[in-house]
Amino acid sequence: MATRAALITGGSSGIGLAIARALGEDGYGITVSARRPDKLEGAAQELRGAGLEVQAVPANMSNEEEITTLVTGHRERFGRLDVLINNAGVGVGGAVADAETKKLDMQLDVNLRAVYLTARECIPMLKEAGAEHGKALMANTASIAGKYGQGWLAAYSATKFGVVGLTQALHKELASEGVQVTALCPGFVATAMTDWVEGVPKEQMIQPEDIAEGIRYLLRTSPACIVPELQFIRPADNM
């Protein structure tokens, strides 16, 4: 069995799947989770086909009970957690003036509340790993929309600002216990989430593998070096 283990939410496609592949290739035992079981199992099969040690645990991150079942499932399979990637997320575009409450609630639940709850459930295992080797990692996928407010994505933007704030707060609580907590803040990434974007071809976007390389970087720095935030922007973003 793998000597280190990672749990990746939103691991069935895009950024999460790229991170799962990279960490699996680096020898981690992997739990991938996402909402739709068939799509998730397909992604897990693909990774297993490449020789990686992967279990798939479906969970709707807007449901607290499913979050606790997910973390328990990871613990039962691997017995440890060195890397948590809080990555599941949804974005619904539109003007605030026309917004439906249920869409606001869904984005708050999946993008922010679930990160808090999953972090809470995983902290004991992360602290154990931190005490062992001083370099446990929790990376929370925020967005560049969590650094600069985006019109017509107000709820999404607000949840991602929340993720950045939560990440800073968790860093203060956990840094002294060998647990690095980092916010990932990308601009447009070539995933299903940017299929709606017109005028920016996918090849001109950040690639999911770029984010995965960021995770590798965070893990390869020494325990004395904490990187609280990674921003990924395109040349055209001009931030």
Ligand X SMILES: NC(=O)c1ccc[n+]([C@@H]2O[C@H](COP(=O)([O-])OP(=O)(O)OC[C@H]3O[C@@H](n4cnc5c(N)ncnc54)[C@H](OP(=O)(O)O)[C@@H]3O)[C@@H](O)[C@H]2O)c1
Footprint of ligand X (CB under 6 A): 10-16, 34-36, 39, 59-62, 87-91, 110, 141, 143, 186, 188-189, 191-194
Instruction: Please confirm, yes or no, whether 156 is among the known catalytic residues.
Output: yes
- The Cα-based distances of 215 to 28, 181, 200 in angstroms read 13, 11, 25
Please measure the distance between the N-terminal and C-terminal CA atoms of the chain and give it in whole angstroms: 44
Nearer to ligand X by C-beta: 16 or 178? 16
Backbone dihedral angles phi then psi of residue 161, each to the nearest 5 degrees: -60, -40
Residue 165: CB minimum distance to ligand X, A: 16
Nearer to ligand X by C-beta: 128 or 194? 194
Residue 84: CB minimum distance to ligand X, A: 14
- Residue 166 contacts residue 146 (beta carbons within 8 Å): no
- Residue 222 contacts residue 29 (beta carbons within 8 Å): no
Which residue type is seen at 32? V
Nearer to ligand X by C-beta: 31 or 130? 31
Choose, from 28, 116, 148, 156, the residue flagged as catalytic: 156
Contacts of 225 (CB under 8 A, 6+ apart): none
**Largest CA-CA distance found in the chain, in angstroms, rounded:** 53
Residue 9: CB minimum distance to ligand X, A: 6
Nearer to ligand X by C-beta: 17 or 129? 17
| Catalytic residue set | 156
